[in-house]
Amino acid sequence: NAGVTQTPKFQVLKTGQSMTLQCAQDMNHNSMYWYRQDPGMGLRLIYYSASEGTTDKGEVPNGYNVSRLNKREFSLRLESAAPSQTSVYFCASRKESVGENTIYFGEGSWLTVV
């Protein structure tokens, strides 16, 4: 049982390049999330998807796009990377049901934009 798997783990981009962070979960969860974590800022929600086919903006969506390809996969795309997007990115999933409130995180993706 892999849980939440995200790739790549490390990536260096040049300003203006594009890339996609991939995320997949094998727990049959409905909700999936992308967070970024910067020093002293905690985790901030970029986008989330409450179910397959739906996506919504979180606190810091500018510069990002997402795709909920199917129930398992939720990808995050940077169309034109900027140094301000240097961060650690975490994908997460949650089962939406009574009594189930736990968010499960992937291992993180360290992104540096130079």
Partner 1 sequence: QKEVEQNSGPLSVPEGAIASLNCTYSDRGSQSFFWYRQYSGKSPELIMSIYSNGDKEDGRFTAQLNKASQYVSLLIRDSQPSDSATYLCAVRARQLTFGSGTQLTVLP
Which of the ranges 10-18, 69-77, 79-87, 97-105 carries the binding residues for partner 1, by CB under 8 A?
A: 97-105
Question: Exposed e or buried b for every residue in 82-94, given b needs 16+ CB within 10 A?
Answer: eeebbbebbbbbb
C-beta of 110 vs 114, nearer to partner 1: 110
Selected binder of partner 1 within 10, 14, 40, 97 (CB under 8 A): 40
d(CA 45, CA 49): 11
Closer by beta carbon to partner 1, 15 or else 51? 51
Reduced 3-state DSSP string for 31-70: EEEEEEEECCCEEEEEEEECCCCCCEECCCCCCEEEEECC
Cβ closest to partner 1, residue 33 vs residue 85:
33
Q: Give yes or no for residue 42 binding partner 1 (CB under 8 A).
A: yes
We find the least distance from the C-beta atom of residue 37 to partner 1, in angstroms, to be 9
- Count of residues of this chain found to bind partner 1 when the rule CB under 8 A is applied: 19
Record the tokens describing residue 13, joined without a space.
Answer: 């981009």
Does 45 help bind partner 1 (rule: CB under 8 A)?
yes
